[in-house]
Chain A
Amino acid sequence: MAPTAAAKPVKIRRASNADLPTIIALDERVTRLPKTDYWRDLFDRFSRREQGRAIFIADVGGRVVGFAIGEVRAWEFGSPPCGWIFGFDVDPRFRERGIGSMLFDALTSFFRSSGVNTVRTMLRRDDNLIMSFFRSQGLTAGPFIELEKNLDE
């Protein structure tokens, strides 16, 4: 944990375009994969249609230390409208402070205000850390199962 920021309060707010570079940097630091084009495209899509879509930022002393991204999707795979969380991260130096829970609460409140009462996400089966986090927030296995095929085999 960054010692100087430890005592500063955490502010959860909606993201603005000015946050894009820090989100890109945070994601790259955590996943070790640069995805600049993906993030630019995502911000562009979210700014063109905001209904049912939200990016929340955890801000500690003006520094972005986490984000949660979600949108309401309807009828994909035959599913009724449901809030999807498809981007979620907290800077490792700021974990164990409840920031993930605060981001989760902000996003799920947003989903409720958007008229849905189910939240869903998808994650790697071997990503124990993030799966444990979502389990601790009350998520359990849902009615869908993901299947895939390697087209080169």
Chain B
Amino acid sequence: MRLQKATRFALYAALELASRREGYVSASEVAAKYGISQNHLAKVLRTLGRSGLIEASRGVGGGYRFVGNAKRTTLLEIVQLFEKVDPIAAGERQPGDATDAGLTLKSVLEEIEDTARATLSSVSLDTMIKMTRRHAERRAAKGTDQRQPATLVP
């Protein structure tokens, strides 16, 4: 499954902010950590702000902070802010859809999509943060070179 750039950036931003609840985090810090352009990130942060998941504070010491419930916010909720994760049945009709082969193909594709949706809707930001920490710990234990700082580990 491929996610659009904006979706991936939003997930990174939400994870970063949700893992650092102690204060505001600057957009430039998030942009630098994940190699994202500040312009692109600003658009993504506006959308996250409108959704009520994050809030911004201007001025010295300002930035963004996560104000949602990390245990209740799922990856699917964030993905759906930026792109559709609709079942095939809700999509536009394509030639051949009404044929037996088309309907059979639809059921196979729905099986794949159901699994993707179930996965995204069962992983909360809190779980992602834990998984990321475990991943970083395993990498550190193996002594693996890291091109970027270990994400989400203060």
A: residues with CB less than 8 A from B are 125-126, 128, 131-132, 135-136, 138, 141
Within 77-115 of B, Cβ neighbours of A (below 8 Å) are at 114-115
Chain A residues whose C-beta falls within 8 Å of the C-beta of B38 in the assembled complex: none
Does B122 lie within 8 Å of A135, measured CB to CB? yes
Does A138 lie within 8 Å of B115, measured CB to CB? no
Does A141 lie within 8 Å of B119, measured CB to CB? yes
Residue of A whose beta carbon sits closest to that of B128: A135
Does B130 lie within 8 Å of A132, measured CB to CB? no
For the complex of A and B, the 6 pairs showing the least CB-CB separation, nearest first, are: A131-B122, A125-B118, A136-B127, A132-B122, A135-B127, A135-B122
Q: Which of A125, A126, A136 sits near B130, CB closer than 8 Å?
A: A136
Does A126 lie within 8 Å of B118, measured CB to CB? yes
Interface centre among B118, B123, B126, B131 (most CB of A within 10 A): B118
Bound form: Cα–Cα A74–B114 in Å: 30
B: residues with CB less than 8 A from A are 71, 74, 114-115, 118-119, 121-124, 126-127, 130-131, 134
Bound form: Cα–Cα A1–B77 in Å: 27
The DSSP consensus for interface residues of chain B is helix
Chain B residues whose C-beta falls within 8 Å of the C-beta of A135 in the assembled complex: 122-124, 127
Residue of B whose beta carbon sits closest to that of A129: B122
Does A136 lie within 8 Å of B126, measured CB to CB? yes
Q: Which of B71, B114, B118, B131 sits near A131, CB closer than 8 Å?
A: B118
Does B124 lie within 8 Å of A136, measured CB to CB? yes
Residue of A whose beta carbon sits closest to that of B122: A131
Interface centre among A131, A132, A141 (most CB of B within 10 A): A132
Chain A residues whose C-beta falls within 8 Å of the C-beta of B118 in the assembled complex: 125-126, 128, 131
CB-defined A-B contacts under 8 Å, sample of 11: A126-B118, A128-B118, A128-B121, A128-B122, A131-B118, A132-B123, A132-B124, A135-B124, A135-B127, A136-B71, A136-B124
Q: How far is the CB of A119 from chain B (nearest CB, A)?
A: 15
Bound form: Cα–Cα A131–B114 in Å: 14
Residue of B whose beta carbon sits closest to that of A131: B122
Bound form: Cα–Cα A136–B124 in Å: 8
